[in-house]
Amino acid sequence: MNPIQLFEPVSCTYTYILFDEDSREAVLIDPVDDMLDRDVQVLREHGLKLVWTLETHAHADHITSAARLAELTGAQMAAPQGCNIGTAGVQLQDGQLLPFGRHQLKALHTPGHTAGSMSFYADMGVQRHVFTGDTLLINGCGRTDFQSGSAQAMFHSLTQVLFALPADTMVWPGHDYQGRTYSSIGAEAATNARVAGKTQAQFEEIMNNLNLPRPKRIDEAVPANLTSGLRHDAGGEILMSVREVPGYAGDVSAQLAWSWVQSGEAVLVDVRTDAERAWVGFVPGAQPLAWKQWPDMAMNPAFDEGLRQLAAGGKKLVLLCRSGVRSVAAAQRATELGLEAYNILEGFEGDPDANAQRGKLGGWRFHGLPWRQN
Ligand SMILES: [Fe+2]
């Protein structure tokens, strides 16, 4: 079975879905933000359960939808360890296996386009596939002149890692600008214009003289991709002082709360449910202490005692929930207990937008503060 190959015409990016026909478990490689609805629709039409969303590298030409996909489907985010995509819960090492149904993808470290770039290899029994991102392209390869690229590393990745795969392995590139869809390792090893029959010196000479323009969206895309596609707040006044309110110590912005946590003044307390943290993501170093718990949203009987223990070191408490509602109630309770507690405005995800999607109107992730999927 071939992967489902999907195309995004602005950046000529291919997104791939590969799945196990029995269990319907699927992996999705290099999703593009503007195509999120299409990708979710394709998963639905094929009755697939997305278990992994993967990046071949931190892209400079488009923005990933990995974080939104993970939220909508429950998929795990994985990214190459060397790409600094800190929001991905699984940081892939060379050779790591990603199971889906009775199949698995193998991560192959193929640096050159970027230092962290990976390809993903799947031996499906009858057929073999390799998803090469911007490392091996059809009759070409990714550029190596920016973003930690290296022509020397690219030559090694192409000739020693990818061309070492079985010749009949089907090659599924990250882009094609001329409408071609796939190739094979055998064909590329024999005829690829950049590398076939070339010495390393000849290859480096070609790569170092391409004189390509700087990618148009690099300044926007790379930072967004380092947080799995959730963009940082552009402009807008950021509240960097406490807003006084009755009932508790005050409201603070996520940025102010984080600066207090970093300077050791405050303890960050995540009052969401265990399920929310596991599903949506969490802040590394935050102390989990649910205010209420699923399924019936009953009060957590251990809340008061937990809060007292977290405040025992004499630090302020900054309370984080999903959108900044429960954290107000929790801050009020903390104040009744005699503790200095602040509510973090907008919570982890902010309010839902007109399409009932969270994460676009504000919140911890929206502002680009550290977080990670489980
Ligand atoms: Fe790229």
Listed by start position, the domains of the chain span 4-225, 233-374
Ligand 1: distance of its center to the CA of 14 in Å?
Answer: 12
Ligand 1: distance of its center to the CA of 61 in Å?
Answer: 7
In sequence order, what E strands does 257-347 have? 266-270, 287-288, 292-293, 298-299, 316-320, 341-344
pTM, rounded to two decimals: 0.75
Ligand 1: distance of its center to the CA of 219 in Å?
Answer: 13
Ligand 1: distance of its center to the CA of 59 in Å?
Answer: 5
Task: Return the CATH fold of 4-225.
Answer: Metallo-beta-lactamase; Chain A (3.60.15)
Ligand 1: distance of its center to the CA of 13 in Å?
Answer: 10
Ligand 1: distance of its center to the CA of 58 in Å?
Answer: 7
Q: List the shell of residues around ion ligand 1, using CB closer than 5 Å.
A: 59, 134
Quick one: pLDDT at residue 178? 93
Quick one: pLDDT at residue 238? 57
CATH number for domain 233-374, candidates 3.50.70.10, 3.40.250.10, 3.40.50.300, 3.40.50.620: 3.40.250.10
Which DSSP letter does residue 230 get?
P
Mean per-residue pLDDT of the chain: 93
Q: What is the pLDDT of residues 173-231, one digit of tens each?
A: 999 999 999 999 999 999 999 999 999 999 999 999 999 998 888 888 988 898 888 76
Owner of token pair 């205010």: 291
- Residue 127's alpha-carbon distances to 87, 121, 124, 258, in angstroms, are 33, 11, 5, 49
